Chain A
């Protein structure tokens, strides 16, 4: 992880990472191939061959992995809610660092 904040808010206080719908995923691994941030981890021996291993490595608002997914098996939190949450925390912290 290169940075631990986004707009002055600690990264680990922002919930932004892919959600895998295992009823749709066929483990084609296109998402893993795209994502350079080790957000996802492959383990071919596990029941779930693909998991979200490092959610906080995910680039805020990036949805690229879901766009690689032909099956629409990846979802993300609601952007407006995330934005509101970031603003909330910034307000708590005094707004303008």
Chain B
């Protein structure tokens, strides 16, 4: 497989007060994703669907790197981020992988991100 550009992973935690992330240690989770999965980087954003989240995406998406967003329901993400991607000349459907990782343990959420990467051709266990 030729070298593909890796994705960035953004975790959105709904201000950190969302009960949907109660079953998870978000810090352990994000570190696990950073360290163990084949992503370019991974970080936590407090609330992507808010105005400052829009402003952040406007800046961030200029890099044109595809992203995986771990957050709430994908249909909601689609609605909320569509414009930001469009403004950046991207398509939220093609340039973003939207995952719902609420109400999960770290292990389960990690598996979901890992599988999504695998589908895109990034195998986590066979790093050069």
Contact = CB atoms under 8 A, between A and B. Distances in A.
B17 A34 contact: no
B76 A62 contact: no
A59 interface: yes
A84 to B, nearest CB: 16
A36 B20 contact: yes
B19 A62 contact: no
Interface of A: 1-3, 6, 34, 36-37, 59-64, 67-68, 79
Interface in B97-113: 102-103
Interface of B: 14-15, 17-20, 22, 47, 49-51, 72-73, 76, 79-80, 102-103
A67 B76 contact: yes
A36 B121 CA distance: 32
A60 B20 CA distance: 14
Contact of B49 (A2, A36, A67, A79): A67
Contacts of A36: 18-20, 72, 102-103
Nearest to B14: A59
Contacts of A67: 49, 76, 79-80
